Structure 1
């Protein structure tokens, strides 16, 4: 086999293996509504696993609030199972303030309207499948 044919075969194999490794990605948009006011920021976290839910976000962002609402988009997100949590950091200290027993003093929410009973929301209640561009709305 001559060098030109070998080179063409190697290039074709490389191209095909790259194509099988390429993964389709999507945009995940989170709309937050009904904040109490325009003070502080809204923090939004996107989680990609149950083990990291509410502790290790896959992606995170914060947004200013206008008209008691905001929108944040995460781009280039691979298909998979995700959950979203948000909180309104009214005093702008960069964290969700809590009272006695860890009860949040600032508004928060999760995808699917998930709420916890005597604790934080559960992954199974908040998770959703991302297999196309998706937009969700969370009301505080």
Structure 2
């Protein structure tokens, strides 16, 4: 009788361990994206970040991003970390929000009045127009760091 209880105990333990291992194997991996913004000219306001997983709304929409947030400006660079992302392609848009409305303000012609930045630091000019998701997206896996340089005017 003692042998059977011991065997049952081992069988139960092995079953529990295999269930635990199966759950670990099937657990969805997540990625962390750290965004460093450099070249900030103002020492007031916030840098607002929008992380997009596809072209829908990129880069100006404030409703189609997968994650967003703002960080108070404390110097000429700011970092923000976004966790829990599924590994994949992402593009980021940032704004030097000087008036607290958390969006990029433009003039009558659509030219930015506030600083802005896009992942991969593409050329942004009247000729090139607004960058496309495919041109600004980067592969994000486990821990990815992205450097964005703030622009305060369109490129020539």
Helix, strand or coil at the partner of 1:66: coil
Distance 1:17 1:79, change over 3 A: same
**Which residue in 1 is equivalent to 2:70?**
62
Confirm or deny: 8 A CA contact 1:109 1:115 kept in the other structure.
Answer: no
Q: Distance in 2 between matches of 1:129 and 1:41?
A: 26
Q: Distance in 1 between matches of 2:113 and 2:57?
A: 23
In structure 2, the gaps of 5 or more residues are: 1-7, 151-156
Larger radius of gyration: 2
Corresponding residue to 1:125 among 128, 135, 147: 135
Corresponding residue to 2:108 among 94, 97, 100: 100
TM-score when normalising by structure 2: 0.75
Aligned residues: CA RMSD: 2.4
Equivalences for residues 21-40 of structure 1 within 5 A: 21-40=26-45
Deviation (angstroms), 1:110? 0.6
In structure 1, the gaps of 5 or more residues are: none
Deviation (angstroms), 1:115? 3.6
* CA distances 1:69-90 after superposition (whole Å, capped 9, x unpaired): 2110001211111111101011
**Which residue in 1 is equivalent to 2:86?**
78
